[in-house]
Amino acid sequence: MEAHPRDVPISKVFELKNVADADEAVDEIVRTGFAGQDTGFRVLMPKDRSTAKRIGYRVTTGVSYGLRKKGDARDVKYWTYHHDAERYAIVLVDRAVAERLGL
């Protein structure tokens, strides 16, 4: 059986309601970083397609930019999927952890 992003060990879950909430989540993810972590981060977003796209773009580009600015490795893998009936989710994890989990 192939692994699903839902199976990634998570250190913190962020429940975002709008795009403005994304900046705080990005800051915390960048501050914590991925180096030496065996866990990832999950970002939950409303099922509204337009809002989810804007939040997803802000999170993924913000994390990449923040890690580059901080001087950390940006070898991060992420997946977007239907988490439940009301929410989409993005899981972000270091590539080495993803490969070890078979993702």
Pairing type for strands 40-46 and 10-15 reads: parallel
Domain CATH for 77: 3.40.50.150
Which residue has better confidence, 97 or 91? 91
**Element counts in the chain: helices (H) and strands (E):** 3, 4
Q: What are 35-76's pLDDT values in tens digits?
A: 888 899 999 999 988 999 999 999 999 999 999 998 888 889
> Which residues are CB-neighbours of 62 under 8 A, at least 6 positions away?
22, 23, 26, 30
- Model confidence pTM above 0.85: yes
Structurally, the chain folds into a number of domains equal to 1
Contact 76, 90 (CB under 8 A): no
For 52, the domain range is 5-101
Distances (CA, A) of 4 to 23, 44, 60, 81: 26, 16, 19, 10
